Amino acid sequence: MLEDTCLATIESYRLLPRGERALVALSGGPDSVAMLHFLLHLTPDYGVTLSAVHVNHMLRGSQSDEDAGFCESLCIRLGVPAVVRRLDVRALCARAGLGVQEAARQGRYEILVEEAIKAGAGTVAVGQNLDDQAETVLLRLVRGTGPSGLCGIWPKRRFVTESGLGPVTLVRPLLGTSRQEIMEYIERHGLEFRTDPTNLKPDYARNFMRLRVMPLLKEINPSAEDAIARLAELLREQLELFEERVPGLVDSIEVTGRGARVRASFVTPLSRAGQRYLARQAIEKAKGDLLRINRDHIDAALDVANGRAGACELPGGITVRNKRGWLSFEVCDVHPGHGEPVCWEPVEIACPGRTLLAPARRFVEARVIERASLGEDPTANDDPDRAYLDFGKISLPVVARQRRDGDAFSPLGMQGTKKVKDFLISQQIPLAERDTVPIFVDAHGNILWLGGLRIDHRVRVTGTTGEVLVLRLEKAC
């Protein structure tokens, strides 16, 4: 029963801070509804003050609005203070160049942490259950992961958002509770809930795993999700035990203003397993997570440690070097002569208008004019701080952002595409300046201009151009 499994998880991992505030992420689905209802009944014993937040992702039109209205009404009936926030996921996808699922996840957690801070809550409860755990482990397995990835979802984690909000403690009280137990709880208490029809289509990898793969595995073992979740729990315990027994490894890592570092002489005598573990820990200390870091990246870092390579770059803007006996993991690039990393949020460009790009220390002026009224020949432009673009091939809004892993464009005058990273190297842009180069993209994430360097060949002005978008950079100081 949910009452038993959920309470056991709360007690085992000490998920509810007695006498403090906790925020519940309420989607309106059965998981979050059951979680809110049960946690509310525990508040007298724990002295916890609950509030709830619903994030309207604006992806399903009126259905999304109806979900928000349902959550507001439910919280009123239960006497729980609630906040409803709107998140334009599609706009976030365009600004940040993310897929729908990742944009929704990032934006949702930004809002949850922001509202937790406002409410004075150090804990945020989210509704992943035992079935979600099994699906997560299997997805990581088939995509390629190591033992830490097979630990799956942690019941309790310190969390900081992509923009640096936090920390808060994320807790998952339902992680030991099956989907079936949740539905039985809903039925016993006569609770209503909302259903997201997109969860019934195998369009996303997780849905495919839930709808197609898990039923096949349950033909072999009807309790397959329990078995997979137990494996994740055992691996988490093994990892925690390992970390308790080898504190010297992690303690050898120094956090610096630019990331983290460890003495190369400490790394090289270790076994391959020890080296990999230490490299993973250093990367996590440097950037806060291990997102997009795989075994090949770890091995590339170890090639640097063992003298087989001079340096390497990893996802997330990490540069690994062996400098004067230290294996350093430096995150982002920095302004010349400064120690603070240059990490900045995308900026929407006013068109027409003048916009400040503070991290790049530039203003950008944007205007649209008729091709025929343009005094100069745009094809002969030799001013690197001015770009002439075919406005008819661009979808607004135009956004300026910093470079990202995997960025590629078609430099003016070249055939095919080239990675932005490789282009910046070919232009001999110093490493310490590469993250200050503004990358201008349109609403679909297409790169239009590497500010001050080169436009994309596909949006150049031609004889058939009607209107021209003119972008001009100038120093802000």
d(CA 349, CA 438): 12
Check residue 324 and give its pLDDT.
Answer: 80
Residue 473: beta bridge partners? 364
Residue 411: beta bridge partners? 456
- Dihedral sign (CA 138, 144, 146, 152): negative
- Dihedral sign (CA 433, 436, 437, 439): positive
Residue 257 host element (H or E) = none
- Strand, coil or helix: what is 320? strand
d(CA 265, CA 464): 63
Mean pLDDT, contiguous 10-residue spans, the chain (477 residues): 95 91 96 97 92 94 93 96 93 78 89 91 95 94 82 90 80 96 97 86 82 94 94 89 70 80 88 87 82 84 87 83 87 45 75 78 87 79 87 93 90 86 80 82 94 92 91 75
- Dihedral sign (CA 28, 10, 7, 221): positive
Check residue 333 and give its pLDDT.
Answer: 45
pTM over 0.75: no
Check residue 184 and give its pLDDT.
Answer: 97
- Strand, coil or helix: what is 328? strand
Check residue 360 and give its pLDDT.
Answer: 64
Check residue 384 and give its pLDDT.
Answer: 83
Q: Which residue spans within 132-227 are E strands per DSSP?
A: 156-159, 168-171
Q: Give the domains, in start order, of the chain with CATH numbers.
A: 2-238 (3.40.50.620), 254-331 (3.30.465), 347-475 (3.50.40.10)
Q: Which residue spans within 280-437 are E strands per DSSP?
A: 311-314, 318-323, 326-331, 347-348, 353-357, 362-370, 386-390, 399-401, 408-409, 418-419
Check residue 341 and give its pLDDT.
Answer: 46
d(CA 447, CA 1): 53
